[in-house]
Amino acid sequence: MKLTIGTKLLSTFLFVAVFVAFAGIVSFYYMNKVNTSYSDLIEQQVSIVTTTRDIEVFALQQTNDLRGYLLTDDASFLSGLQTANNKLNSRISETDPLLTEFESRQLMNELKQLNLRFQQRYERMLSSYKKDHDKAAALSLFKTEVLPLGLQLGPLAALISERQQQLLHNGVKRNTQNVNWANDAIRIMSLFAFILTLIIGWMISRHITRNLARITRFISSITPGLATTGLPRIEVHTSDEVGAIAHSFNDMASALDHYAAQERDKTWLETNIAKLVTMYQGIHDLEMLAQRFITAITPMTGASYGVFYIRQNNGGSQAVHKLAAYAYNERSIGEASFQFGIGLVGQAAADNQTILLTDIPASYMTITSGTGMTSPGSIIIIPVEFDGQVVAVIELASLTSFSPIQQALLHEVLDRLGITINSIAGRMQIEKLLHESQTLTEELLRQSEELQLQQEALKGTNEKLEEQNFNLEQKTKELEATKLELEEKAEQLALSSQYKSAFLANMSHELRTPLNSLLILSDILASNTEGNLTPNQKKYASTIYHSGNDLLRLINDVLDLSKVESGTIQIHYDEVKLRSICEYAEQQFIPVARQKGLMFTTELDDSLPPMLYTDEQRLLQMLRNLLSNAFKFTSHGHVTLRIHLADSLMLSHLREAENTILDESAIAFSIIDTGIGIPRDKHNLIFQAFQQADGTTSRKYGGTGLGLSISKNMAKLLNGCILLDSVEGVGSTFTLLLPGKDSLPRLDAPLLMEEAAAAVDPIETETESQEEASSSCSAADLKPIDPMFTGTTALIVDDDMRNIFAITTALEGKGMTVLFAENGVEGLRTLQQHTAAIDLILMDIMLPEMDGYEAIRKIRLMPAYQSLPIIALTAKAMKDDRDKCIEAGASDYISKPVHVDQLCSVIQVWLNK
């Protein structure tokens, strides 16, 4: 019979419900019954008791009323009597049907009879009373007949009441018994129902749980380990839901077993794929990839032999080359590469198709180990593709055949391998390129550094050259300075010489005046016109006169010399006839020659021009000096004046010695004597003033020694010179050379002097100004003027006058020109006004109107000032400020307060070009 758990439960609960309902109905019936009888009883007895009480009362009342009437004759008592009697009767009639008990009924009947008799008697009495009005009779009647009856009524009613009370009590007692009985019945039935329900429930639950527990035990006995070996099945004993569960479980178990098998395959695939994919990581070249791959995949697929071929394009032909192998035996199988389409490997590569070989003949190949060799059961050749192109071929040989799952793994893995091969190849390519680029970059850097080095070396050389150049310039400058100094000294000397000459000239003049009177007076004395002098006195006077004359000549010479030296001598160029020069010389010196016993001749060359252009007076003076010298130092022989053209030997000597404008047209006046001659070492000396060849005090020959000196200077003034050729003891030849007629007169020497002085002047003033400058900045304790700063101009834009003053003082002290502006706008204006002059700007940042940043930006916008050094002056320690400065275009910055040394350093850095 198929009894489901539901049916079992339903029937059990139905049974229990019916039983409980029955018990309920029974108890309800009894309870109801008890209840009804009890309330009826109470109600009946209570009304009986009440009416019997009323009867008692009314019985008493009618006696009393009767009595009252008899006593008082009051009619109201009569009506009261009537009412009470009526009520008593009604009460009796009411009660009578209620009485069920026999004894009570009798009593009631008795009461009814009694009352009836009572009524009859009092009515008789009353009618007799009405008739007779005999009170006493009435009363005695009342007393004897009526009253005992009336009095009997009360106790009778009480008796009935008491009887009823008794009945009530009995009823209650009976009822309580009923209730108790009903209670007992309910108690027993409940207990019975409880026990019955318990037993049925226990039986059913036991039946259900036993089956369920069996299944639960069974299911919980399944461990994870069982899942792999397959799930057990449950034996089905029942046909209820538990049996259904067991059936379902068995279905599920078989489904799970199937799924687990699939999952195992899948996991195997995925694990192996993951293993291979993780293996790819960190592989950077194909060889390693191939080796690792073949080493991993061969055991995975149960194969015993594997080769990895990679595709390589050699020009037009495509081929696959062996890159790695597993258990590979090179002796037995020797193919290192296959052309596409050649061999099975080549075919697989060409067709991009897997080739699977089974039933391999024993001679095909062998798989060898230390203990023996065998031939493979199957061979699989699979191409690896990427983007539709075969990139590699894998060949695997297995002793057994390849299972579908192994083949699936191979295909799955090889799909991914294609991508990996491609990415590694790409990576290798990139790495190679990166390496090349790295190497090239390094090479570039090396070359650039080497070039930089060479450039620096060149720069160094250049600098050295510049330095040398600079040194040279410096030397030149020094030389120039020395020259200037010398010139200055020369000028000073000339000046002092001029002073000396002027002094001498003045002196000479002052001397000449008294000397003249001395001469005149001594001459008068010597002529002795009055004849009063002794010959001796006359001789003294004559000596005074001659000495005076000597003195005068000396003074004249000194005067001449000083005039010549001071440049105050006047030169009057004119045409001079050479013939007349000769004539003058002869006229002057023939008497002297005759007196000294010497021969004097003058010679005039034919080739000479008839005249020359010079100052005749000075020429004659020079010749006179030279001739008198010749005569003075010649004691015998002859003196000759020869006028001729200068010979080339003479001129070439002259050109070597000094700069001269004398040329072939120069005319030479040679004074040749046969005198004592002059030693060679004294040749120069004799031309100096107050000098003779014999410089001792005991010199033999008189004379001032000024003649030659004057002559030489005069010759110079006339653009000529005097040459000396002398041999001691043989004679001397003095030659006066003067420019020929064609030569133009040179500029006068004093004029030259003036020019030189004019050239010197600016330097002098400059040094003066520098001195002033340095003295003005000495208060600021500054270094002396720096060539780096001189001539440069800086513009300071700052609103703090103290700052401007401090910087200006410092920079001007260095020789810099400083302009200033108190705000950005003014700064820009100043900059535009001085366009090219400003070399550097010092820009304060916190400025009114237009701040420093803005000003710098504005300056940088102007094309001309894009590289003008701008040094920003920033508040201390504000990094932000500095960044903003640089952003705005400042070249550098320094913090306030500005240190003069730092400022100067920075300025030098940025002035450096």
Partner 1 sequence: MSPNLYFDKITSAYRENIEPLEQLEIELLLEALYRYYGFDFRDYVLPSIRRRIWHRIHAEKLSTISGLQEKVLHDRNTMKRLIADFSINVTEMFRDPSFFRAFRTTIVPLLQDYACIRIWHAGCSTGEEVYSMAILMHEEGLHHKTRYYATDMNADVIEEAKRRSFALDKLQAYSNNYMQAGGTKSLSDYYTIDNNQASLHPYLADSIVFAQHNLAVDQSFNEFHVIICRNVMIYFNSVLQNRVHTLFHESLSRSGFLGLGHKESIAYTSHSALYKEMDAHEKLYRKIK
The first and second tokens of residue 32, run together, are 């109801």
* Contact range with partner 1 by CB under 8 A, out of 183-191, 545-553, 812-820, 894-902: 894-902
Residue 815 and residue 904 in contact, taking contact as beta carbons nearer than 8 Å = no
Q: Which is nearer to partner 1, 427 or 538 (CB)?
A: 427
- The reply to whether 894 sits near partner 1 by the rule CB under 8 A is yes
- The reply to whether 123 sits near partner 1 by the rule CB under 8 A is no
- The reply to whether 857 sits near partner 1 by the rule CB under 8 A is no
Task: Give CA torsion, residues 683, 687, 692, 696, to 10 deg.
Answer: -80
Task: Give CA torsion, residues 668, 672, 678, 683, to 10 deg.
Answer: 0
Q: Which is nearer to partner 1, 121 or 814 (CB)?
A: 814
Q: Which is nearer to partner 1, 122 or 893 (CB)?
A: 893
- The reply to whether 908 sits near partner 1 by the rule CB under 8 A is yes
Looking at 442, 480, 510, 754, which residue binds partner 1 (CB under 8 A)? 442
Question: Where in 864-883 is the site for partner 1 (CB under 8 A)?
Answer: 879, 882
- Give burial (CB, 10 Å; 0-12/13-18/19+) of 392: buried
893 vs 906: CA distance, rounded Å: 9
Smallest gap from Cβ 392 to partner 1, in A, equals 18
Q: Which is nearer to partner 1, 288 or 651 (CB)?
A: 288
Smallest gap from Cβ 775 to partner 1, in A, equals 24
Smallest gap from Cβ 459 to partner 1, in A, equals 9
Q: Which is nearer to partner 1, 18 or 453 (CB)?
A: 453
- The reply to whether 452 sits near partner 1 by the rule CB under 8 A is yes
37 vs 722: CA distance, rounded Å: 199
Query: For residues 739-753, b (16+ Cβ closer than 10 Å) or e, as one string?
Result: bbeebeeeeeeeeeb
Question: Where in 258-297 is the site for partner 1 (CB under 8 A)?
Answer: 285, 287
The closest alpha carbon to 908, from 808, 821, 786, 823, belongs to: 786
Q: Which is nearer to partner 1, 205 or 902 (CB)?
A: 902
Q: Which is nearer to partner 1, 450 or 772 (CB)?
A: 450
Residue 883 and residue 837 in contact, taking contact as beta carbons nearer than 8 Å = no
**DSSP codes, 455-503:** HHHHHHHHHHHHHHHHHHHHHHHHHHHHHHHHHHHHHHHHHHHHHHHHH
478 Rama class: left (phi>0) / alpha (psi -120 to 50) / beta: alpha
Looking at 443, 754, 764, 766, which residue binds partner 1 (CB under 8 A)? 443
Smallest gap from Cβ 910 to partner 1, in A, equals 6
Q: Which is nearer to partner 1, 345 or 906 (CB)?
A: 906
Q: Which is nearer to partner 1, 231 or 840 (CB)?
A: 840
Smallest gap from Cβ 498 to partner 1, in A, equals 45
- The reply to whether 466 sits near partner 1 by the rule CB under 8 A is no
What size, in residues, is the chain?
Answer: 913
Q: How many residues lie near partner 1 (CB under 8 A)?
A: 39
Element (H, E) at 188: helix 147-220
- The reply to whether 474 sits near partner 1 by the rule CB under 8 A is no
- The reply to whether 183 sits near partner 1 by the rule CB under 8 A is no
Residue 842 and residue 873 in contact, taking contact as beta carbons nearer than 8 Å = yes
529 vs 540: CA distance, rounded Å: 15
- The reply to whether 435 sits near partner 1 by the rule CB under 8 A is yes
Smallest gap from Cβ 803 to partner 1, in A, equals 17
- The reply to whether 886 sits near partner 1 by the rule CB under 8 A is yes
169 vs 46: CA distance, rounded Å: 11
- The reply to whether 904 sits near partner 1 by the rule CB under 8 A is yes
Q: At what angle do helices 749-777 and 404-527 cross, to 10 degrees?
A: 130
- The reply to whether 892 sits near partner 1 by the rule CB under 8 A is yes
- What is the three-state SS of 866-898? CCCCEEEEECCCCHHHHHHHHHHCCCEEEECCC
- The reply to whether 223 sits near partner 1 by the rule CB under 8 A is no
Looking at 133, 169, 432, 636, which residue binds partner 1 (CB under 8 A)? 432
- The reply to whether 450 sits near partner 1 by the rule CB under 8 A is yes
- Give burial (CB, 10 Å; 0-12/13-18/19+) of 283: middle
The first and second tokens of residue 737, run together, are 């050379």
- Give burial (CB, 10 Å; 0-12/13-18/19+) of 586: middle
- The reply to whether 113 sits near partner 1 by the rule CB under 8 A is no
- The reply to whether 905 sits near partner 1 by the rule CB under 8 A is yes
Question: Where in 767-796 is the site for partner 1 (CB under 8 A)?
Answer: 788
Looking at 403, 438, 517, 767, which residue binds partner 1 (CB under 8 A)? 438
Q: Which is nearer to partner 1, 574 or 887 (CB)?
A: 887
Q: How far is CA 218 from CA 40, 57, 203, 481, in A?
A: 70, 93, 23, 126
The first and second tokens of residue 632, run together, are 């003075």
Smallest gap from Cβ 322 to partner 1, in A, equals 17
Q: Which is nearer to partner 1, 223 or 912 (CB)?
A: 912
Looking at 318, 614, 743, 891, which residue binds partner 1 (CB under 8 A)? 891
- The reply to whether 462 sits near partner 1 by the rule CB under 8 A is no
- The reply to whether 755 sits near partner 1 by the rule CB under 8 A is no
Q: Which is nearer to partner 1, 180 or 447 (CB)?
A: 447
- Please provide residue 358's backbone torsions phi and psi, each rounded to the nearest 5 degrees: -125, 175
Smallest gap from Cβ 460 to partner 1, in A, equals 10
Smallest gap from Cβ 281 to partner 1, in A, equals 14
* Contact range with partner 1 by CB under 8 A, out of 145-153, 165-173, 617-625, 886-894: 886-894
- The reply to whether 520 sits near partner 1 by the rule CB under 8 A is no
Q: At what angle do helices 578-596 and 616-632 cross, to 10 degrees?
A: 20
- The reply to whether 912 sits near partner 1 by the rule CB under 8 A is yes
Smallest gap from Cβ 820 to partner 1, in A, equals 21
Task: Collect contacts of 116-125 with beta carbons under 8 A, ≥24 apart.
Answer: 117/149, 118/62, 118/146, 118/149, 118/150, 118/153, 119/85, 121/145, 121/146, 121/149, 122/62, 122/66, 122/81, 122/146, 122/150
Task: Give CA torsion, residues 183, 188, 191, 192, to 10 deg.
Answer: -140
684 vs 725: CA distance, rounded Å: 11
Q: How far is CA 656 from CA 713, 738, 740, in A?
A: 20, 17, 20
- The reply to whether 830 sits near partner 1 by the rule CB under 8 A is no
- The reply to whether 226 sits near partner 1 by the rule CB under 8 A is no
Q: Which is nearer to partner 1, 756 or 788 (CB)?
A: 788
Q: Per-residue contact track with partner 1, 391 to 430, x per CB under 8 A?
A: ----------------------------------------
CA 528 to chain CA centroid, Å, is 122
Smallest gap from Cβ 886 to partner 1, in A, equals 5
* Contact range with partner 1 by CB under 8 A, out of 399-407, 506-514, 744-752, 890-898: 890-898
- The reply to whether 513 sits near partner 1 by the rule CB under 8 A is no
Looking at 40, 449, 480, 583, which residue binds partner 1 (CB under 8 A)? 449
Residue with tokens 């059913």: 204
Looking at 79, 170, 177, 439, which residue binds partner 1 (CB under 8 A)? 439
686 vs 695: CA distance, rounded Å: 9
3 vs 7: CA distance, rounded Å: 6
Element (H, E) at 237: none
Smallest gap from Cβ 290 to partner 1, in A, equals 13
What residues line the site for partner 1 (CB under 8 A)? 285, 287, 431-432, 435-436, 438-439, 441-447, 449-450, 452-454, 456, 788, 879, 882, 886, 891-895, 901-902, 904-906, 908-910, 912
